[in-house]
Amino acid sequence: MRVTGVSEMKLLLDEMYAGLKEYFETLGYEVLTAQEAGLKGAKDREVVEHAGKHGLLLVTQDPKQAELAELRDVKCILISKAMIAKVADSKIKEKFS
Protein backbone atom coordinates (compact mmCIF):
# COMPACT_ATOMS: atom_id res chain seq x y z
CA MET A 1 0.00 0.00 0.00
CA ARG A 2 1.38 3.39 -1.00
CA VAL A 3 0.51 6.57 0.86
CA THR A 4 -0.64 9.40 -1.41
CA GLY A 5 1.99 12.04 -1.99
CA VAL A 6 5.08 10.03 -1.09
CA SER A 7 4.93 7.25 -3.65
CA GLU A 8 7.48 9.00 -5.88
CA MET A 9 9.85 9.88 -3.04
CA LYS A 10 12.80 7.51 -3.00
CA LEU A 11 15.01 7.41 0.08
CA LEU A 12 18.60 6.42 0.68
CA LEU A 13 19.04 5.52 4.35
CA ASP A 14 22.56 6.05 5.63
CA GLU A 15 24.11 3.11 7.49
CA MET A 16 22.88 4.09 10.95
CA TYR A 17 19.26 4.15 9.74
CA ALA A 18 19.16 0.85 7.82
CA GLY A 19 16.94 -0.62 10.54
CA LEU A 20 14.22 1.89 9.65
CA LYS A 21 13.77 0.60 6.09
CA GLU A 22 10.64 -1.45 6.81
CA TYR A 23 9.04 1.46 8.68
CA PHE A 24 9.56 3.88 5.79
CA GLU A 25 8.30 1.27 3.32
CA THR A 26 5.17 0.84 5.44
CA LEU A 27 4.67 4.61 5.16
CA GLY A 28 4.80 4.30 1.37
CA TYR A 29 8.38 5.22 0.52
CA GLU A 30 10.65 3.36 -1.86
CA VAL A 31 13.77 2.75 0.23
CA LEU A 32 17.36 1.75 -0.41
CA THR A 33 19.88 1.38 2.41
CA ALA A 34 23.52 2.39 2.08
CA GLN A 35 24.43 -1.25 2.59
CA GLU A 36 22.17 -2.40 -0.27
CA ALA A 37 23.68 0.28 -2.52
CA GLY A 38 27.18 -1.08 -1.86
CA LEU A 39 28.07 1.95 0.26
CA LYS A 40 28.91 0.22 3.55
CA GLY A 41 31.87 2.10 5.00
CA ALA A 42 31.90 4.52 2.05
CA LYS A 43 33.18 8.07 2.38
CA ASP A 44 30.56 10.73 3.03
CA ARG A 45 31.14 12.24 -0.41
CA GLU A 46 30.48 8.89 -2.09
CA VAL A 47 27.17 8.46 -0.27
CA VAL A 48 26.07 11.98 -1.24
CA GLU A 49 27.16 11.48 -4.86
CA HIS A 50 25.18 8.22 -5.05
CA ALA A 51 22.06 9.92 -3.70
CA GLY A 52 22.41 12.76 -6.19
CA LYS A 53 23.16 10.52 -9.17
CA HIS A 54 20.10 8.36 -8.49
CA GLY A 55 17.69 11.10 -7.42
CA LEU A 56 17.39 9.80 -3.86
CA LEU A 57 16.65 11.78 -0.71
CA LEU A 58 19.42 11.02 1.77
CA VAL A 59 18.33 10.39 5.38
CA THR A 60 21.32 10.70 7.70
CA GLN A 61 22.49 11.53 11.19
CA ASP A 62 25.85 12.71 9.87
CA PRO A 63 26.17 16.53 9.79
CA LYS A 64 29.07 16.36 7.33
CA GLN A 65 26.99 14.36 4.83
CA ALA A 66 24.16 16.85 5.20
CA GLU A 67 26.53 19.76 4.55
CA LEU A 68 28.06 18.04 1.51
CA ALA A 69 24.55 17.31 0.21
CA GLU A 70 23.63 20.98 0.60
CA LEU A 71 26.76 22.04 -1.32
CA ARG A 72 25.86 19.65 -4.15
CA ASP A 73 22.11 20.45 -4.15
CA VAL A 74 21.30 16.85 -3.18
CA LYS A 75 18.08 16.33 -1.24
CA CYS A 76 18.90 15.42 2.35
CA ILE A 77 17.24 15.19 5.75
CA LEU A 78 19.50 15.48 8.80
CA ILE A 79 18.04 13.68 11.81
CA SER A 80 20.31 14.93 14.57
CA LYS A 81 20.81 13.39 17.99
CA ALA A 82 19.37 16.59 19.48
CA MET A 83 16.22 16.12 17.37
CA ILE A 84 15.85 12.53 18.57
CA ALA A 85 16.37 13.64 22.19
CA LYS A 86 13.68 16.35 21.84
CA VAL A 87 11.16 13.86 20.45
CA ALA A 88 11.95 11.39 23.24
CA ASP A 89 11.71 14.14 25.88
CA SER A 90 8.33 15.22 24.54
CA LYS A 91 6.99 11.65 24.59
CA ILE A 92 8.34 11.01 28.10
CA LYS A 93 6.69 14.18 29.42
CA GLU A 94 3.46 13.43 27.54
CA LYS A 95 3.21 9.91 28.92
CA PHE A 96 4.61 10.25 32.43
CA SER A 97 3.88 13.84 33.58
Calpha distance 69→12 (Å, rounded): 12
**Residue 7 predicted with pLDDT over 60:** no
Residue 2 lies in a domain: no
The parent domain of residue 81 ranges over 10-96
Query: Mean pLDDT across the stretch 65-82?
Result: 96
Number of domains in the chain: 1
Residue 4 lies in a domain: no
The overall average pLDDT reported for the chain is 93
- Amino acid 22: pLDDT: 97
Q: pTM here? A: 0.86
Q: In what order do the strands lie in the sheet with 57-60?
A: 30-33, 10-13, 57-60, 76-78
Residue 40 lies in a domain: yes
Residue 88 lies in a domain: yes
